[in-house]
Amino acid sequence: MKSQWPDRFLAVAGVLTQSLVYITMLLPPIIVVGASLTAGNSMVFPPEGLSLRWYHEAFQNTAFMNAFVMSLELGFAAMFLSLAIGFAGAYGMDRYRFFGRETLRATALSPLIVPVVVLGIGLLQLLTAIGFGQTFFGLLIGHVIITLPYVVRTLTTSLALLDRSYEEAAANLRAAPHVVLRRVTLPLLLPGFLSAGIFAFVISFGNITLSIFLGFAGAETLPVQIFTYVEHSYDPTLAAVSTMVIVLTVIIMLAIERIAGMDKVL
């Protein structure tokens, strides 16, 4: 038998590393939530007494509230567009073998690894050139591009896991192809649709890197508004706004988990 110490060391190091990882993951959001509840005037931890005054402050802040509404609208619009385009594409790639299929799939997944500055500048340039610079459309199309990888991947997996015998049974029961799609395929893909859609919404809602290039005065998304605020100063109002986003995101993620299981999305 070889010496035991490397085993012990490995076990202890493993436990320590994992604890560190989970703490680090949770730390920033927890600190923000904690700081938002302070009764004092500055961002310190632990907070100086508890109060909801900064939430009141946040709701009074029209810039934040407008940005919040803007982000919600953008998130929903991007989600629906991305789902429609992504599903049609994923369905086509699943059911047919055609030239360029793998290229299309790889391209649809690639926005994840294209540096956002590259995509942002390129899009900004193109949109300006075709007269869509500084429009909601431009911002929306950018968000569709960055949410597509998640939608295409999730729906591709759902389609691949779908038992074809359901569709065959429907066809055997005289259902024409469009009836099979509407009454069997789509309902059975519902969990995949929901998680893809929710994830697309969350990604769009939180995006800062692309919005900062494509946003414009009057169409600041919430993350952009927070960014501009942070660059100058930060007070507990920011923590209150951020907490609202954190709570919203966590609720949405738990919803995905309930509906489909997280492992299907990623």
Partner 1 sequence: MKVNFEDVSDAGSAKQAAPILRLDGLSKHYGDVIAVEDLSLDVADGEFVSLLGPSGCGKTTTLRMVAGFIKPTAGRIGIAGKDVTALPPYKRDTGMVFQNYALFPHMTVAENVAFGLENLGVERSERMTRVHEMLRMVELDHLSDRRPAALSGGQQQRVALARALALQPALLLLDEPFSNLDAQLRVRLREDMTRIIERIGVTTLFVTHDQEEALALSDRIVVMSTGRVEQIGSPGEIYERPSSRFVADFIGQCTILDGTCADAAFRSVNGLRLPFEAPPWRLFAGAASRTCTGGRGGRS
Partner 2 sequence: MNSSSVAARGTVRVGPSGRYAWIALTAPLAIVLLLFLVVPILSLLRASFFEGDRSFNASGVSLEHYLRFLTDSYYLNVMLDTLGYGLATALLCLVLGFPTGYALARAKPHWRRWGLIIIILPLTLSLVIVVFGWLVVLGRQGLVNQVLVFTGLIDKPIRLLFNSPAVIIVLAQQFLPFMVLSVMSVVGHIDPTLEQASANLRANRWTTFRKVIVPLSLPGILSGLTLVFVLSVSAFITPRLIGGHRVQMLGSLIYEQIIVLLNWPFGAAMSAVLFTVTLTITLIVNKWLKSHPG
Out of partner 2, partner 1, none, what residue 179 binds, judged by CB under 5 to 8 A for its kind, is: partner 1
**Residue type at 39?**
A
Out of partner 1, partner 2, none, what residue 218 binds, judged by CB under 5 to 8 A for its kind, is: none
Beta carbons of 104 and 89 less than 8 angstroms apart: yes
User: How many chain residues touch partner 2 (CB under 8 A)?
Assistant: 109
Beta carbons of 211 and 223 less than 8 angstroms apart: yes
Min CB(206)–partner 2 separation in Å: 3
* Binding characters for partner 2, 1-30, by CB under 8 A (x = yes): xxxx-xx-xxx-xx--xx-xxx-xxxxxx-
Out of partner 1, partner 2, none, what residue 93 binds, judged by CB under 5 to 8 A for its kind, is: partner 2
DSSP state of 263: G
Give the helix, strand, coil percentages of the chain, each rounded to 5.
80, 0, 20
User: If you count them, how many residues does the chain have?
Assistant: 266
Could you say whether residue 159 binds partner 1 (CB under 8 A)? Answer: no
Beta carbons of 156 and 93 less than 8 angstroms apart: yes
Following CA atoms 207, 211, 216, 221 in sequence, which dihedral angle do they give, to the nearest 10 degrees?
-10
Could you say whether residue 259 binds partner 2 (CB under 8 A)? Answer: no
According to CB under 8 A, which residues from 177 to 216 bind partner 1?
Answer: 177, 179, 183-184, 187-188, 190
Binding site residues, partner 1, CB under 8 A: 163, 165-166, 168-177, 179, 183-184, 187-188, 190
